[in-house]
C-alpha cells in the first residue's frame, strides 16, 4: 500500500472472497478520514465467486456498456458483449463461447456475431498441456515445453518466441 507524507491509499475487499475488490480509498494520515473513494461495483459476482457481469467492458480496444459471463459449473461457457445507445436498451455486439474436454481443458473458442460464427480457435491438447492452437483464419501456434513439462515458448508465423521467467517462474518477457 503506497504511503505519502499526508495520505495513504487503502484497498478494500469482500469478506467472503478476498480477491474481489470493492473500493479504493485515499485516507488522511492525520485523522484517518477518507478523503476520496472509488467504489468498484462494476463487477457483479455469483455465489461461487465467479464474475457474472462487468460494466464498461473493454474488448478489442473499445469500451462497451457491459458483458454477461455465463458458466457451466465452474467453467466459463460464454461472454456476451453488449452496447447501449440509450438507457434501458442494449444490443448484443458479440458472443465468445467456450467448449472444454472431459478433463476441463478448453478445446474450442468461438466468436459469434449475429448468430454466425466468424472465428473459431481450436486447441489441441495432450493431458493438461496445450500443444497447438489453430484458427480458421489460418493462424497456427505451436507450444514448446521443457523436460519438466513447463511451457517454454511458442512458434507463430514461422518465428519462435521463448519465455523469460523470473525466479518465481512467472513469465516476464517473450
What pTM was computed for the model?
0.75
What would the pLDDT profile of 15-28 be if each residue is shown by its tens digit?
777 778 888 888 88
Please report the pLDDT score of residue 120 as a whole number: 98
- Which residue do the cell numbers 521463448 mark? 162
Residue 42's Cβ-side half-sphere holds a number of Cα atoms within 13 Å equal to 12
Of the pLDDT bands very low, low, confident and very high (cuts 50, 70, 90), residue 167 is: very high
pLDDT at 158 over 70: yes
> Shortest CA distance to 43 belongs to which of 51, 33, 34, 35?
51
Of the pLDDT bands very low, low, confident and very high (cuts 50, 70, 90), residue 87 is: low
100 membership: H or E segment, kind and range: strand 89-100
Please report the pLDDT score of residue 86 as a whole number: 60
More confident residue, 3 or 63: 63
Grid coordinates standing for 110? 468461438
Residues β-bridged to residue 27? 8, 34
Distance separating alpha carbons of residues 51 and 39, to the nearest angstrom: 16
Amino acid at each position: 500500500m503506497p504511503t505519502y507524507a499526508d495520505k495513504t491509499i487503502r484497498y478494500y475487499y469482500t469478506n467472503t472472497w478476498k480477491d474481489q475488490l470493492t473500493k479504493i480509498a485515499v485516507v488522511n494520515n492525520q485523522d484517518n478520514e477518507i478523503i476520496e473513494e472509488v467504489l468498484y461495483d462494476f463487477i457483479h459476482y455469483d455465489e461461487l465467486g465467479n464474475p457474472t457481469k462487468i460494466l464498461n467492458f473493454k474488448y478489442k480496444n473499445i469500451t462497451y456498456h457491459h458483458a454477461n459471463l455465463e458458466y457451466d459449473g465452474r467453467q466459463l461457457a460464454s461472454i456476451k458483449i453488449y452496447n447501449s445507445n440509450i438507457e434501458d436498451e442494449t444490443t448484443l455486439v458479440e458472443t465468445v463461447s467456450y467448449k472444454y474436454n472431459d478433463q476441463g481443458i478448453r478445446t474450442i473458442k468461438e466468436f459469434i456475431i449475429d448468430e454466425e460464427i466468424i472465428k473459431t480457435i481450436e486447441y489441441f491438447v495432450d493431458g493438461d498441456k496445450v500443444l497447438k492452437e489453430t484458427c480458421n483464419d489460418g493462424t497456427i501456434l505451436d507450444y514448446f515445453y521443457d523436460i519438466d513439462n513447463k511451457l517454454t515458448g511458442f512458434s507463430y508465423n514461422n518465428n519462435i518466441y521463448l519465455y523469460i521467467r523470473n525466479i518465481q517462474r512467472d513469465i516476464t518477457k517473450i
